[in-house]
Amino acid sequence: MSRLIVILGITGVQGSSVADAYLSSPGWKIRGVTRNPASESAKKWEMKGVEIVKGDLDNVASLKQAFMGADLIFGVTDFWTIFKDPESHKKKRPSQSLVEYCHDVELQQGKNIADAAAAVPSLFRYIFSSMAHAKNSSGDKFAELYHMDSKADAAIYAQSLPALTGKFSQVQAPIYFQLPWEWGLPTTPKKVADGTWRMAGIGPGNKGIPFGHVRKDFGPCVKAVAESEPNVNLFAVGEYVSWSDYLRIFCETQGLKYGGYDELSYDKFCELLPGGLGHEFAHNVLFAHEFGYEGKDPAVVRPEKVNHVLFDLVATLGHN
């Protein structure tokens, strides 16, 4: 009899990666959960034989329904979906910043997933996509890194549920290697007047940033964790690359003239990316430099076999 994996966020980067890892594994049936089963991306999974069901992270009953009969559940929340939703501006309390509101919603969603998973008698393993708790692991220095702490506290909540004892593990995603190109970030390499390419970012240009090819490598990491004993906390990092090397490799592989990296102040970064976005990104990088992206938690393990050749990654940039 085949086993059933239920994947939240199947149309997202992490969920898609997990689905790919299990599509090529005999003996598994895949059920993908999405807010919008009618979307093009949901239909694509359906055509590959994946069962698609509707589920809403704000609604525990819908999750319980979606999880019925699951052996394995992959749970993921997305702070940035809440951040980008125009409704969030209306729903937040006037005294709350938008990112604080997103934190509260994301944490509640993480708790909802855990509660729903705890109600599945057939469950063998629940794997949650978490992050380090920036406030706790920095001794309160980075006390307002909302998109990290929400996930970390959701993981603590899952661990507190007796029904999930011996069934829970976590995987932490690294910084997506394409990220500098997204969101209109100031980190996107640009051609300047003298014909060279420069990029600007937060933090010094020579310190490593934990990158990864999440679409490709996250799924195999989740699968490895699912096949291990419970209570694993894996940091699915690919390779540490500094901003300067990132730009250098991009220029070398594209035949462009390397200019250099310009370090922006926190204030400047927040000015370029207002509304809390600059704050979350800037503190994420500064926290990673000082305390480790995964909070230097000795219990966190790293993949040994998911290293890449950076050239393969960055060579594909700018071509998609």
Ligand X SMILES: *[C@@H]1O[C@H](CO)[C@@H](O)[C@H](O)[C@H]1NC(C)=O
Binding segment for ligand X among 46-54, 149-157, 224-232, 246-254 (CB under 6 A)? 149-157
* Min separation Cβ 151 and ligand X, Å: 9
Residue 257, SS3?
Answer: coil
Examine residue 136 and tell whether it contacts ligand X (CB under 6 A). yes
DSSP string, 257-270: -EEEEEEEPHHHHH
**Closest to 239 in 3D by CA, of 187, 171, 314, 161:** 314
Nearer to ligand X by Cβ, of 42 and 152: the residue is: 152
Which residues is 170 bridged to in the sheet?
A: 128, 233
- Residue closer to ligand X (CB basis): 108 or 244: 108
Q: Enter the tokens of residue 186.
A: 């100031």
CA distance 23 to 18: 9
- Most distant CA pair in the chain: distance in Å? 64
How far apart are alpha carbons 29 and 71 in whole angstroms?
10
Residue whose token pair is 């594209």: 254
Q: Which two tokens stand for residue 153?
A: 């506290």
- CB nearer ligand X, residue 41 or residue 136: 136
Per-position DSSP letters for 6-41, written without gaps between them: EEETTTSHHHHHHHHHHHTSTTEEEEEEES-TTSHH
Stretch that binds ligand X, among 78-86, 101-109, 151-159, 250-258 (CB under 6 A): 151-159
Quick one: 146 or 269, whose CB is closer to ligand X? 146
For the bound state, the minimum distance from the C-beta of residue 133 to ligand X, rounded and expressed in Å, comes to 4
Least separation in angstroms between CB 168 and ligand X: 13
- Nearer residue to ligand X within complex by CB, 61 or 299: 299
11 vs 170, which CB is nearer to ligand X?
170
For residue 37, count other CB atoms closer than 10 A to its CB: 17
The reply on whether position 159 binds ligand X by CB under 6 A is: no
CB 239 within 8 A of CB 211: yes
Q: Give every CB contact of residue 224 below 8 A, 6+ residues apart in sequence.
A: 234, 303
Which of 70, 152, 171, 185 lies at the binding interface for ligand X (CB under 6 A)?
152
Give the residue with the Cβ less far from ligand X, 171 or 249: 171
Q: Which among 10-18, 95-103, 150-158, 235-243 is the span making contact with ligand X, rule CB under 6 A?
A: 150-158
Instruction: Please check whether residue 258 is in contact with residue 197, taking contact to mean a CB–CB distance below 8 angstroms.
Output: yes
> Is residue 153 close enough to count as binding ligand X by CB under 6 A?
yes
Lay out the site mask for ligand X across 85-124 (x = CB under 6 A, - = otherwise).
----------------------------------------
Closest CA to 16 of 168, 159, 155, 176: 176
Q: Which of 14/150 has CB closer to ligand X?
A: 150
CB closer to ligand X, 125 vs 133: 133
CB of residue 140 to ligand X, shortest distance in Å: 10
227 to 256, contacts with ligand X by CB under 6 A? none
Query: Residue from 103, 111, 133, 213 that binds ligand X (CB under 6 A)?
Result: 133
Helix (H) or strand (E) run with residue 198 in it: strand 197-202
Stretch that binds ligand X, among 47-55, 152-160, 184-192, 223-231 (CB under 6 A): 152-160
Nearest residue to 212 (alpha-carbon basis) of 320, 100, 293, 115: 293
Residues that bind ligand X (CB under 6 A): 133, 136, 152-153, 156
